[in-house]
Amino acid sequence: MIASDLRSGVEQLGDMIAAASSIVPFTGAGISTECGIPDFRSPGGLWTRNRPIPFDEFVASKEAREEAWRRRFAMEATFAVAKPGRGHRALASLYRAGKVPAVITQNIDNLHQASGIASDHVIELHGNTTYARCIGCGQTYQLDWLKRRFEDEGAVPDCTVCDEPIKTATISFGQAMPEEAMQRATELAQHCDLFIAIGSSLVVWPAAGFPLMAKNCGARLVIINREPTDQDDVADLVIRHDIGETLGPFVGN
């Protein structure tokens, strides 16, 4: 059912949150746009101007790696200053209240962790862009060190342990989904009684399968997104409004 207006949507959401004992939020780009993080997939977004670099190309080509890192460092000012928005803070409030065991996110911006949710309770389906990993051995690297090397030498160094390339800790196109995160997200979706999809257009699979999975396992499903999604007709409540305005009333509860 689509909420007739923002106020009635917030009221119904409040009732559903009060009645639920285990709430699993699932977040997409829409929760972070008010924090200044662009939606890469939106019309006019970065990916319509800059073709994403697939994983196999990153591995095969030194030029592709340099381009990927050049783009990432160009975004650093945006990521470095971004602070959690009202949506993040509302979810952190529900987490502190013991209502939310963990958050599943498609975002790579680290803002759920910054809002106070323990890293272990943020299930990142597409990884995290605020640090880097060796694609061979998994050794982690801080971005500021890599950025200094990039500025000095024109390229990010290879892994100091195993000599394989270092990449942001994100999941690129063509890269395998993180197994443990997928497993934990599956368990959360199957065992919650309220699943809230927030700011996701629900078109990127397999991530988009989790709302349906939760619904099929008996949870109530809420979809909060500015635009319609393909799963609106199976949701118990659809709120087509701004994420910050919709979740703002739940900050600090």
Name the site residues for Zn ion (rule: CB under 5 A). Answer: 134, 136-137, 139, 159, 161-162, 164
Residue (178 or 228) nearer to Zn ion, CB? 178
Given 88, 112, 121, 126, which residue is catalytic? 126
**β-bridge partners, 223:** 197, 238
Diameter of the chain by CA atoms?
A: 57
Sequence-separated (6 or more) residues with CB below 8 Å from residue 204? 41, 106
- Residue of 245, 199, 206 whose CA lies nearest to 38: 199
What three-state secondary structure class fits 149?
A: helix
Shortest distance (Å) from residue 57 CB to Zn ion: 20
The verdict on whether 88 is a catalytic residue reads no
Residue (139 or 190) nearer to Zn ion, CB? 139
Q: Is 224 left (phi over 0), alpha (psi -120 to 50) or beta?
A: beta
Residue (171 or 194) nearer to Zn ion, CB? 171
Residue (47 or 55) nearer to Zn ion, CB? 55
- Residue of 248, 251, 249, 192 whose CA lies nearest to 222: 192
- Residue of 190, 195, 199 whose CA lies nearest to 16: 195
Shortest distance (Å) from residue 167 CB to Zn ion: 11
Q: Cis check for the bond before 178: say yes or no (omega within 30 of 0).
A: no
Shortest distance (Å) from residue 144 CB to Zn ion: 19
Rg (CA), the chain: 19
Residue (123 or 134) nearer to Zn ion, CB? 134
Shortest distance (Å) from residue 159 CB to Zn ion: 3
Shortest distance (Å) from residue 240 CB to Zn ion: 45
Cα 51 to Cα 47: distance, rounded to the nearest angstrom: 5
Positions marked active-site = 126
